[in-house]
Amino acid sequence: MADRTDATKLVEIKKVSKYFKVSEGTLKAVNEVNIDIYRGETLGLVGESGCGKSTFGKTLIGIYHPTKGTIIYHTADGKPMEINKKTLFSYSKMAQIIFQDPYSSLDPRMTVADIIEEGMIIHKMYDRKKRRERVYELLELVGLNKEHANRFAHEFSGGQRQRIGIARALAIEPEFIVCDEPISALDVSIQSQIINLLHDLQKKLNLTYLFIAHDLNIVKYISDRIAVMYLGNIVELATSKELYGNTLHPYSQALLSAVPIPDPDKEAQKQRQILTGDVPSPINTPKGCPFAGRCPYVMDICRQEKPVLEMKQGHLVACHKVTK
């Protein structure tokens, strides 16, 4: 992956929060997330369902506007661009998303060619003939072919539909792609094909990914660094090797202990940490550490002061037990 220096930052996420007004109050889906994403890397984002991963991904590419905080995108010519209403259209040419569900994310009334071409039309790219050539190229690139161009999405399998979704995301030649659980709706047999495709495309097109998943095995395979999210907060951030080899946060430890080990002997010896207690409501978030209600190491300070991400043993972790 790219050498991580300031010069290679692609996206700077500064204290970004996303809240939603609901009838019971304010749902705090994402809380003050600070992360830099580097050009050419895959940043994995893991956490349980409903932890805010998807909302964070959608906020990053401009589907949601952050309630607080700033997102800065470093364009190819090195200029920092703050993402706001004025810059959103230009930004949408550089940042795209691959959705989780290839069944609902493709318009059933449009042909595959129309789906892939749509972004190019919006961004006024190429004339009609060239756009059609690009559609054929993109279909080949994702492992389909030009004969598929005039068919409708419902004529394809889940894996093929996700390939169409990938071609659509690539059509306007973005640099940054949020992969929002792109394989969770697919059969296990197809998942590795899509992962390999994304991996190959990254190398070929120099793409940067935020790869959202709850499957920790997949994230480990594809990610350079991994961020662990709990209740809208990043609680640990490290290289893939560091996170799996030296897990520091109690929540990350519990998540990883639930991952099956292929070796049956090692699996039998493994100590699994069962998470107890309920996930607190994101509407009435508790004071202090968001994980305090389920943490086996909870201390008095945990219920009073919210831990912040601090550098410890080579990676960032938000936990009083680790950083005290």
Between residues 97 and 319, which has the closer beta carbon with respect to ligand SF4? 319
Give the amino acid at 268.
A
User: Taking CB under 6 A as the rule, does residue 302 contact ligand SF4?
Assistant: yes
User: In terms of CB distance, is 27 or 319 closer to ligand SF4?
Assistant: 319
Residue list 246-265, contact with ligand SF4 (CB under 6 A): 250
Tell me which of 14, 132, 270, 321 binds ligand SF4, using CB under 6 A.
321
Please give the size of the binding site for ligand SF4, defined by CB under 6 A: 13
Pick between residue 267 and residue 310 the one whose CB is nearest to ligand SF4.
Answer: 310
Give the span between the Cα atoms of 314 and 324, in whole angstroms. 15
Choose among 209, 217, 245, 212: nearest CA to 228. 212
- Strand order across the beta sheet in which 315-317 lies: 95-98, 176-180, 208-213, 42-46, 225-230, 233-239, 315-317, 310-312
Residues 25, 297, 310, 314: which binds ligand SF4 (CB under 6 A)?
297
CA gap 151, 110 in Å, rounded: 9
Q: Which CB, 148 or 320, lies closer to ligand SF4?
A: 320
CA dihedral of residues 279, 283, 288, 292 (deg, nearest 10): -10
With CB under 6 A as the contact rule, the residue among 97, 142, 185, 292 that binds ligand SF4 is 292
Q: Count H helices, E strands: the chain?
A: 12, 12
By CB under 6 A, is residue 231 in contact with ligand SF4?
no
Q: Which residues bind ligand SF4 (CB under 6 A)?
A: 250, 289, 291-292, 295, 297-299, 302, 307, 319-321
